[in-house]
Copies of this chain bind each other. A is one copy, B any other.
Amino acid sequence: MKRRNTATKDAVLSVIETSGKAMSQTAIEEKIGVVINRATIYRVLNRYCEDGILHRIAADNGRQYFAICVKCDEAEESLHHFHFRCEKCDTIECLPIPVNFALPKDYQLTQVNCVLSGVCKDCA
B104-A109 in contact (CB<8A) = no
Q: Is the CB of B110 within 8 A of A113?
A: no
Q: Are A118 and B114 in contact (CB under 8 A)?
A: no
How many chain A residues have a CB neighbour from B under 8 Å? 36
Q: How far is the CB of A46 from chain B (nearest CB, A)?
A: 14
Cβ-defined partner of A114 (8 Å) among B99, B104, B107: B99
B62 contacts A113, CB within 8 Å? no
A104 to B95, CA, bound (A): 8
A109 CA to B83 CA, complexed, in Å: 12
Q: Quick one: CB contact mask for A100-118 with B, threshold 8 Å, 1 for yes?
A: 1111111111111111111
Contact partner of A120 (CB less than 8 A), chosen from B82, B84, B107, B113, is B107
Which of B97, B104, B110, B113 is the one whose CB lies under 8 Å from A87? B110
Q: Indicate if the CB atoms of A108 and B82 lie closer than 8 Å.
A: no
The reply to whether the CB of A61 lies closer than 8 angstroms to some CB of chain B is: yes
With A58-B61, A62-B58, A62-B62 as known contacts, state yes or no: A121 contacts B107, CB within 8 Å: yes
Are A104 and B121 in contact (CB-based, < 8 A)?
Answer: yes
